[in-house]
Amino acid sequence: MNGAEAARPVLGLTTYLQQAQTGVWDVHASFLPAVYFDGVTRAGGIATLLPPQPVTDAIAEQVVGGLDGLVFTGGPDIDPATYGQARHPATDEPAHERDAWEFALLRAALADNLPVLGICRGAQLLNVALGGTLHQHLPDLVGHTRHQVGNAVFSTSGIRTVPGTRVAAVVGESTDAQCYHHQAIATLGRGLIASAHDADGVIEAVEVDPHGQGPQFCVAVQWHPEERLDDLRLFSAVVAAARARRGRRVPAR
């Protein structure tokens, strides 16, 4: 292995676990759209998939110990019982195994200061894990369905970042974002700051305060950067943070 290959960081990506069809098969399966791991590999990382499975904190710590970074991907709604609410009629049926797996991975990642990028569900997961709450159905709040028009069609939202945040440093003052979410962050979790909003005032990005005691790179966006692989800035940022961490862990030869 040459030096450049040895320096490539390994990033874990969470996956779906649900019924899926391929050819003649219709099976319960773990899978992830290729655009997610394409984003990681195009940005210079090595992608490895982390399917939901029976978990303990010790298992999560062992998994995280073998990674340089972690990407929490999009997917179904988080069980509202985890943030003390009854389920809204528009909220997905709970995916208990995926929720438990990802909460455990996130606890281990935060404890180990592992670089983290959350995407859509990943942003909501981070917020809930740190004691925050969610708006379960945005149309009830904003009066329209433009955040999630349905039928797998992503809508484009104008996003403005908060000056001085890590998200602003990565994507600039504003950006056009591909959105597909009917839920959003309500009360912020402990140690999180809002780092971007859309025109409705909906929180579109959060991050662990880089000036606090938490990880130096823990960023989560409500939009889908994997849908715009001509713009790798968020993937490049988490890969760069993971590479720096790997450099501190792997002795030079």
Between CA 237 and CA 116 the distance in angstroms is 10
Give percent of the chain above pLDDT 90.
Answer: 79
pTM of the model: 0.93
In this prediction, residue 253 carries a pLDDT of: 45
**76-93 pLDDT, tens per residue?**
999 999 999 999 999 999
Query: What average pLDDT does range 170-193 have in this prediction?
Result: 93
**135-149 pLDDT, tens per residue?**
998 888 777 767 776
β-pairing verdict for 69-72 and 116-119: parallel
CA distances to 79, 135, 153, 201 from 141, in Å: 20, 8, 21, 11
Q: Which amino acid belongs to residue 83? A: Y
Which residue's structure tokens are 């990028």? 117
In this prediction, residue 5 carries a pLDDT of: 62
Residues carrying an active site annotation: 120, 224, 226
